[in-house]
Amino acid sequence: MTGRHEVGGVVLVTAAATETGRLAAGNADACRVAPPVFVVADGTGADATGAAASAAVVAAFTAEVPAGAPATLDQVRRALERAHVEVGALARDTGGRTGSTVTGAVLTLHEGRPHWLVLNVGDSRVYRLLRGELHLLTVDHTQAPDEARSERPGARRPGGRAALTRAVGAPDATADSWLLPVVDGERLLLCSAGLARNLADETVQAVLALSGAPATAASALVGHAARAGTGEDVTVVVVDVLSGGRSPGLDDTSRGTGTRTDTVDDDTRVVRR
């Protein structure tokens, strides 16, 4: 999936790629690339239940956030609430064995300027490449395997991997969210945990920095993950900002760490210098 888009005066070029894990019965990842919405969901559960959960997350954003114009915080909140309800119903039907993560970057306006509303529940991730530097924008909701308890959302992952402490559809699954200025020349990467757990950040940075078009970067990342021997599904979305954002180096901020944050509309943090 590739395309060039203009939303709220911001010109974007986008691409997505996915690969079914060699140990998976089917691909339980799902994504939406329909500006202003970019989301990746990673379903958990046996058989086709994981795929149903991730599809429900994507369907919630499709229903609540119209394409073609900057989103509002209320629209995104409704999408998350709808996803929680739909996946929660699936979880009850499967005795708590079904859930999903969600991570995303949604184009919105704050104080009249384009911003990314970055959101996360679980261990899928959003990265930003800006002026050659890679920054992780989200925080994983995970717990070390030896500390995990079976009643926690997501339970224990196979192979001794970290367990999810938050999942869509589970109790107390509040999304973390941040507002960051849109910056000309930046490249965003959204990915499911199958990429983040199997490729070092240095490899991700090199691929994003050296690949030309988003489609090339997306294909290369999925290929690297496959060659790393992951048995998991891998999904990536790459978004380039061509114009319409702030000039790089003026008042952009690459990450929340070490910056001042204000709050707007409940717990969403506005990242500033």
Q: Which pLDDT score, from 0 to 100, does residue 228 have?
A: 86
Q: Which domains does the chain have, with CATH numbers?
A: 2-272 (3.60.40.10)
Return the pLDDT at 43.
Answer: 95
Determine if residue 154 is left, alpha or beta; phi over 0 gives left, psi from -120 to 50 gives alpha, anything else beta. left
d(Cα 254, Cα 272) in Å, to the nearest integer? 9
With a cut of 70, say whether residue 41 has pLDDT above it: yes
Residue 263: which pLDDT band, with cuts at 50, 70 and 90? very low
Contact status, residue 167 vs residue 153, Cβ threshold 8 Å = yes
Lowest-pLDDT range, 130-134, 170-174, 259-263? Answer: 259-263
Residue 70's nearest CA partner among 138, 6, 1 is 6
Of these ranges, 96-110, 138-152, 157-171, the one predicted with the greatest mean pLDDT is 96-110
Q: 61-75, 158-172, 237-251: which range is least confident on average?
A: 158-172
Q: Which residue has the higher pLDDT, 39 or 271?
A: 39
Helix (H) / strand (E) element for 223: namely helix 214-227
Q: Is 83:170 a contact under the CB 8 Å cutoff?
A: no
Percent of the chain whose pLDDT exceeds 70: 83
Parallel, antiparallel, or unpaired for β 268-272 and 176-181? parallel
pLDDT of residue 244: 97
Among the ranges given (132-136, 208-212, 265-269), the one the predictor scored with the smallest mean pLDDT: 265-269
19: left (phi over 0), alpha (psi -120 to 50) or beta: beta
Position 147 scores a pLDDT of 47
Confidence of residue 45 (pLDDT cuts 50, 70, 90): confident
pLDDT-derived band of residue 25, with 50, 70 and 90 as boundaries? confident
Residue 102 pLDDT level (bands cut at 50, 70, 90): very high
pLDDT at 261: 33
The answer to whether 161 and 148 have CB atoms below 8 angstroms apart is no
Instruction: Output the pTM of the full model.
Output: 0.87
Q: Distance (Å, rounded) from C-alpha 183 to C-alpha 180?
A: 9
Please give the Cα distance from 187 to 184 (Å, whole number): 9
pLDDT value of position 96:
82
Determine the pLDDT at residue 179.
97
Q: Quick one: average pLDDT of 13-34?
A: 91
